[in-house]
Structure 1
Amino acid sequence: MMIYPTMELLDGHCVTLDKGNLDAPQVWHVDPVATARGFAEAGAQWMHLTDFNALQGDNSNEALVEEIIRTAGIPVQLGGGIRSRERAEHWIGKGSGRVVIGTLAAYDPAAVAELAKYHPDQIVLAIDIWQGQVMTEGWRKAGAWTPEAFIDAFENLPFAGILVTDIDSDMSDVEAQLGLISGLAAKAKSPVIASGVVRTGDDISRLKYVQNIAGALVGRALFNKTLSVEAALAIAQPEAEPVAEFL
């Protein structure tokens, strides 16, 4: 299972949010560029980056995001405010390994279908869920989709993955999150990436045995120092198959 060390940016700072609440961010006083390099130095093969300013239509972090993409040393999976084909292709052109799209998919499925076909394995579909509905506009607006219908609408497209976040039980009810995410993973044809569910190494241990969950974002636990990148990567490795000894 792939571990994606995760960085969230707001006003140039690394932050974590409680259920997407931008009014009360937890600010981490670290250098975002150095932190991204640290992910690579610890052995990560990918990182995930979300730009919360871009979610609000503010491009003030753009130069910083470009620097992280250019210098991290590993591919970056980028989300936040990518609500047009032009913005998606802008970031792919800037070197982003993947772009994460949610709101655009809800409003213009045909455009996302074209993007996925033109950029196979570079588009990640985001499914952000609140009380059984897919949310858009940075978790602020309920759409007309259920998660199951959303998956069905895009089932034959060559997505790099489907990023599932259960906002309703964000970090407070891991059992409920695991149930929701594993149910959607069983339905999806693209590999599923779990978001918001990893607090400890034990959560990774459980996730890696769920069918079709191919990865997990790990952010808050890294900044809280309850989990290291190295430990998360080690736990995510498949267990060695027992080998019988013949005498």
Structure 2
Amino acid sequence: MIIFPAIDIRGGKCVRLLKGDFAKETVFSDKPEEMAKKWQAQGAEFLHLVDLDGALAGKPQNLATVKAILAAVDIPVELGGGIRTLESIDEVLALGVRRVILGSVAVRDPELVKTACAKYGDRIVVGIDAKDGIVAVDGWGVSGDVEATALAQEMKKAGVKTIIYTDISRDGTLAG
């Protein structure tokens, strides 16, 4: 089993939201690259990064912070949050990110996911974030009007090999 420590980035800082609520934010560090180094020193084999500003804006917003993290660690990094075009996927992977996590676009443009899987294979991951089994999109603020299990089945058919599932009601609660 590989445990993926998560670094959620908002405004260039390492934060945690409670149940995805941007008004309930805890700032852990204004230097996410130092947190990344800490996780690596504690034995992390892979890091999970989320660009929270990107998730809201619909395009990556914290790439300078991602670059700083990549420069600080030797372990692979995956990134999600606002990656909704093939150009964004290309840009993020070109930085040195190992895997790209697609969320909202999996609901809104499954053909893009299929195209990305054909081009990049297992470097494409889908993030399914759900409340009461229904997928949420756009930084978890909007219902995607699709059941999480149905989306997972559709993404498997599109060629996705890895899905990251988040139960929004438990996110940030330290309850597993």
The two structures have a TM-score, normalised by structure 2, of: 0.90
SS of equivalent residue, structure 1 residue 153: helix
Q: CA deviation at 1:56?
A: 2.1
CA-to-partner distance for each residue in 1:154-198, whole Å, 9 max, x for gaps? 2234434100011134466xxxxxxxxxxxxxxxxxxxxxxx763
- Report the structure number with the largest CA radius of gyration: 1
**Partner letter of residue 140 of structure 2?**
W
Letter in 2 for 1:49: L
Q: Partner residue of 1:15?
A: 15
Contact 2:46 2:77 in 1 (8 A): yes
Provide, for residues 192-237 of structure 1, a one-character-per-residue CA deviation record: whole Å limited to 9, x for no partner: xxxx763xxxxxxxxxxxxxxxxxxxxxxxxxxxxxxxxxxxxxxx
Structure 2 gap ranges (5+): none
- Do 1:122 and 1:159's aligned partners in 2 also have CA atoms closer than 8 Å? no
Change (3 A) 1:43 1:115: same
Tell me: CA distance 1:80–1:161, structure 2 relative to 1, closer, same or farther (3 Å). same
Evaluate the alpha carbon distance shift between residue 36 and residue 156 of structure 1 in structure 2; reply closer, same or farther with a 3 A threshold.
same
Return the offset for 1:30. Answer: 5.5
Q: CA RMSD in A?
A: 1.9
Q: Which amino acid aligns with 1:29?
A: S
Instruction: Tell me how far 1:66 sits from its aligned partner.
Output: 1.4
Query: Is the contact made by 1:128 and 1:135 (CA closer than 8 Å) also made in structure 2?
Result: yes
Cα 1:119–1:32 shift into 2, 3 Å: same
Change (3 A) 1:34 1:169: closer
Residue by residue over 1:11-59, the C-alpha shift from the partner in whole angstroms, topping out at 9 and shown as x without a partner, is 1111100111112211113531122122222221101011111112275
* Matched residue SS, 2:163: strand
Task: Select between 88-97 and 162-171 the one with higher mean Cα deviation.
Answer: 162-171
1:165–1:136 CA distance, 2 compared to 1 (3 A): same
Task: Determine helix, strand or coil for the equivalent of 1:3.
Answer: coil
Which residue number in structure 2 is paired with residue 62 of structure 1? 63
TM-score computed with the length of structure 1 as normaliser: 0.66
AA aligned to 1:84 is T
Tell me, what secondary structure is at the counterpart of 2:126? strand
* Structure 1 counterpart of 2:73: 72
User: Percent of counterpart pairs with the same letter?
Assistant: 31
> 1:133-144, aligned counterparts within 5 Å?
133-144=134-145
Shift of 1:132: 2.3
